[in-house]
Amino acid sequence: MKNDRVAIIGCGNIGLSLLQGLLKEKNIVPENITVTRRNIRELAYLEEKGVKMTTDNVFAIKDSNIIVIAVKPYNIIEILEEIRDYLNPEKHVLISVTAGTTLSQIQDAIGISIPVFRAMPNISASVGRSVSCICHNSEGKKDVESVRSLFDNFGTTMIIEEELMQSATILGACGIAYVLRFIRAMIQGGIQIGFDAKTASAIVNQTVKGAAELLIERKEHPEFEIDKVTTPKGCTIVGLNEMEHNGFSSSLIKGIVASYEKIEK
Ligand SMILES: NC(=O)c1ccc[n+]([C@@H]2O[C@H](COP(=O)([O-])OP(=O)(O)OC[C@H]3O[C@@H](n4cnc5c(N)ncnc54)[C@H](OP(=O)(O)O)[C@@H]3O)[C@@H](O)[C@H]2O)c1
């Protein structure tokens, strides 16, 4: 990985999160990272970090062996057509984080056989806490471990079947927004029962982190841990049941399904 040269084509929200994750982990030196976008001045503040910045996607491709495409679905095909003559099957691994564009659509747009991956990280890649779901074409098989170690810079990495990529987008990439909205609601509740916003945020953030780490470490079902907190006739179960009467679990499930139906359209 130390010798890898990475291009991030389309350094917007997720591209920047990936860049920040790489800069944080320091496994690839900034000089070996090239980022692009059309309004490159937006990234001027990164100059001091040593990252190469350009509007020239072809220059970025020529200078790199791992290419991460992080543009919107309506931009990806034109970019693939722009760079395809410069792709070298002996050198390049192409990774798309663009939602919804399939391996075969990417393959068709570039017209040559090279290792192609789809990856679905989330914005916590910037602090090394994403989960990234990944799938690949047959040419990509030999590169799975190097792509996995690249994405391990952003958190944990899972290899999945391509047919689950839309679901991974909802649960992992959109999922962080659902969790953040949940956190916001808890903070609002905390303020109503007496804490200032800063203290409420600190308590809630750590509580959410603790709950996630508890489940990750113990590998138990959430309800098993909930049983330890709910004293019969106590305040926790009263609150939880009130939330459920108001559709707490149901609204989350319905929201996830609505997002999925939208992405599948
Ligand atoms: N945001 C997330 O949490 C997240 C998570 C996982 C996956 N994704 C997927 O990642 C993709 C990008 O999402 P995003 O939220 O990061 O969007 P975004 O913030 O709009 O970023 C896309 C970037 O692409 C650049 N761009 C557009 N055309 C370009 C071109 N011809 N050459 C170089 N750069 C170009 C844009 O900058 P200029 O206009 O300056 O060129 C923009 O900064 C989407 O498909 C999304 O589904 C997003």
Query: In this predicted structure, what is the pLDDT of residue 3?
Result: 82
25 phi and psi, to 5 degrees? Answer: -80, -25
DSSP-derived pairing of the beta strands 155-159 and 130-136: parallel
Share above pLDDT 90 across residues of the chain, in percent, rounded to a whole number: 97
- Give the tokens for residue 213: 């780490």
* Closest listed residue to residue 66, CA positions, set 166, 156, 140: 140
Shortest-distance Cα residue to atom 14 of ligand 1: 13
Interval 228-252 mean pLDDT: 98
Separation between Cα atoms, residue 128 and residue 144, nearest integer Å? 20
Atom of ligand 1 nearest to the CA of 177: 3
The yes-or-no verdict on residue 265 having pLDDT over 90 is: no
The yes-or-no verdict on residue 190 having pLDDT over 90 is: yes
Separation between Cα atoms, residue 18 and residue 122, nearest integer Å? 9
Query: In this predicted structure, what is the pLDDT of residue 182?
Result: 98
Q: What residues does ligand 1 touch, defined as CB less than 6 Å away?
A: 9-15, 36-39, 57, 70-73, 75, 79, 97-99, 120-123, 173
The yes-or-no verdict on residue 94 having pLDDT over 80 is: yes
Query: In this predicted structure, what is the pLDDT of residue 229?
Result: 98
Interval 156-173 mean pLDDT: 98
Separation between Cα atoms, residue 80 and residue 68, nearest integer Å? 11
Query: In this predicted structure, what is the pLDDT of residue 262?
Result: 96
How remote is the C-alpha of 111 from its chain's centroid?
A: 27
Instruction: Please give the C-alpha separations between residue 74 and each of 69, 70, 78, 199, in angstroms, as whole numbers.
Output: 12, 11, 8, 42
- Give the tokens for residue 48: 């001091």
* Closest listed residue to residue 61, CA positions, set 21, 102, 7: 7
pLDDT confidence band for 24 (50 / 70 / 90): very high
Taking only the tens place, the pLDDT of each residue in 43-69 is 999 889 999 999 999 999 999 999 999
Query: In this predicted structure, what is the pLDDT of residue 47?
Result: 85
Taking only the tens place, the pLDDT of each residue in 118-146 is 999 999 999 999 999 999 999 999 999 99
Residue 264: its H or E element: helix 248-264
* pTM, to two decimals: 0.95
Interval 200-217 mean pLDDT: 98
Interval 60-83 mean pLDDT: 97
Query: In this predicted structure, what is the pLDDT of residue 26?
Result: 95
DSSP-derived pairing of the beta strands 130-136 and 116-120: antiparallel
The 3-state DSSP class for residue 68 equals: strand
- Percent helix, strand, coil in the chain (nearest 5)? 60, 15, 25
Atom of ligand 1 nearest to the CA of 98: 45
Residue 90: its H or E element: none
Interval 70-94 mean pLDDT: 97
Strands of 33-36's sheet, edge to edge? 52-54, 33-36, 6-9, 66-69, 93-96, 116-120, 130-136, 155-159
Among left, alpha and beta (phi > 0; psi -120 to 50; other), residue 50 is left
Interval 174-181 mean pLDDT: 98
Ligand 1 mutation pick, 38, 120, 135, max ligand atoms within 8 A of CB = 38
Separation between Cα atoms, residue 6 and residue 68, nearest integer Å? 7
Separation between Cα atoms, residue 123 and residue 244, nearest integer Å? 29
